[in-house]
Amino acid sequence: MLMLLIYMFLKRTRNPKRAAMVQQVRKYIIARVPFFFITLLVLLLLLIPILVKTQSLLLYYKIVQGGDEIGWLRLEKNIAGSQSRLLLVSEINTRFIIRIRVSATESSTFENGKLVHSAQFRKTNGETKVDKQTRLVSGNYEVMENGGTEKLSIRFIGTNLLSLYFQEPVGINQVYCDKHAGFITVTKTGDGGYRVKFPDGNSNIFYYSRGICTRIRISHTFYTAEIIKTT
């Protein structure tokens, strides 16, 4: 930039003695232009991964039962190129005859919109109750749990239950349920929500604002509860 300013100044000055200097500066600038653009291109290429990594979303929810706050959820979505990673971490402290503490972690990884791996881990009062994974192997899905592996007759999973926190299921009538290792139905409710019904008869209704889940009504055989977005 400095050399360019000097060149412009010398060019406007009609002193013959400076003609040679003008030509030298001009040659210098022309010689440096390719280097400048190459440097700029390299910097842009280095910045692309940084810009991609900034595509993330963080959500917080509280779990309410009978008017009391009994737990929380933290959800993350990170996108890097064609890969999307979802993470849920939760904890519940409540009393049902005895004190119950439940901690859980769920994760899902999608490549080009296709689930390639998901994991569920849950402890109740310090004891592991769920340790389950679904993964894509050679074009088919398999589930690993309790040391065993079960192959599923499923070739494509584009949306699972964890996805529903980040994506309103418009036009989607089924999602993959990692817990039950199969698809469950999604139906629109009269109040604008989306009900997912599980094989055991329990159900959740998801409500959205601008594509993000803001509330979930949980209907279980033994209790009802709500998950409410806080930030």
Rounded Cα gap, residues 175 and 230, in angstroms: 25
Angle at 224 between CA 219 and CA 227, to 5 degrees: 90
pLDDT, one tens digit per residue, over 44-76 is 666 555 554 558 999 999 999 999 999 999 999
φ/ψ of residue 17, rounded to 5: -65, -20
Encoded tokens for 175: 């999602």
> Confidence band (pLDDT; 50, 70, 90) for 5?
very low
Q: Give, in order, the Cα–Cα distances in Å from 104 to each of 29, 64, 125.
A: 62, 17, 11
Residue boundaries of the structural domains of the chain: 2-53, 56-229
pLDDT, one tens digit per residue, over 105-154 is 999 999 999 999 999 999 999 999 999 999 999 999 999 999 999 999 99
